[in-house]
Amino acid sequence: MSNPASFRDQSNWADGFYELAIEVGSTDDARIQEVLGAVWSAAGVQGCFAFRDREPEEQEPVSCSAASLAEYGHLHGQVRLPTGRPAVCGCVAIRGGDESSDWLDFYVPVGALSKAGIAYWDGGSFFRSAVMDDWLAAVGARAFRRTPFSLAVIGFEVSGCTDAATLAGRLPESRGIGYLLPRDGVLHYGAAND
């Protein structure tokens, strides 16, 4: 049986990313650092590594930091999925510069999710899983308690598909993705419903 937690198995990293994409709300390295630490802890990620073509025991860990993200592009680890199976995971920062906010994307690749037996909806051209949506929403809620953020979206490659300013504190009625939207200091979860 293939192992969804194997770094070397490149099929684990295939087919795109299922994400908890967090709009950090600033372009400050310190904010990226805070949100990264909160998400890594909230998800229970094991390890923090620069390379996905070597197993964790074949490489030195790196710091779970904004500096490591800037140096390596992505950080990688292993996480226990809602099914109990371990799988590869990662994180990347998408810097907005002067034009927009920074985003921090925590992801589990679809290749690993498929091998881990995560059920998903196949009625469209993309991966969607209610199990993963709820799990990532819980991860986002735990991270928010530690360090608030402007918005988080959940789904297949969702980073930057909207922003907090566009939503203006209101969840869309028809949702093809999940939303974690703070309003008056309280985080509201709007699950995908179409």
154-173 residue pLDDT tens: 999 998 889 999 999 999 99
Looking at every residue in the chain, the average pLDDT score rounds to 91
Classify the C-alpha dihedral 96-97-102-106 as positive or negative.
Answer: positive
Q: Between the CA of residue 11 and those of 96, 112, 115, 120, what are the distances in Å?
A: 30, 8, 9, 18
Q: Is 27 helix (H, G, I), strand (E, B) or coil?
A: coil
Residues 6+ apart with CB under 8 A from 81: 4, 87, 108, 113, 116, 118, 132, 135
Query: Over 70: is that where the pLDDT of 99 sits?
Result: no
Classify the C-alpha dihedral 85-43-142-109 as positive or negative.
Answer: negative
Predicted confidence at residue 23, as pLDDT, reads 94
pTM of the shown model: 0.93
| Backbone φ and ψ of 57, nearest 5° | -75, -10
Share of the chain above pLDDT 90, in %: 75
Reported as a single tens digit per residue, the pLDDT across 11-51 is: 999 989 999 999 997 677 889 999 999 999 999 999 999 99
Reported as a single tens digit per residue, the pLDDT across 3-16 is: 999 999 999 999 89
Give the pLDDT band (50/70/90) at residue 124.
low
Give the pLDDT band (50/70/90) at residue 1.
low
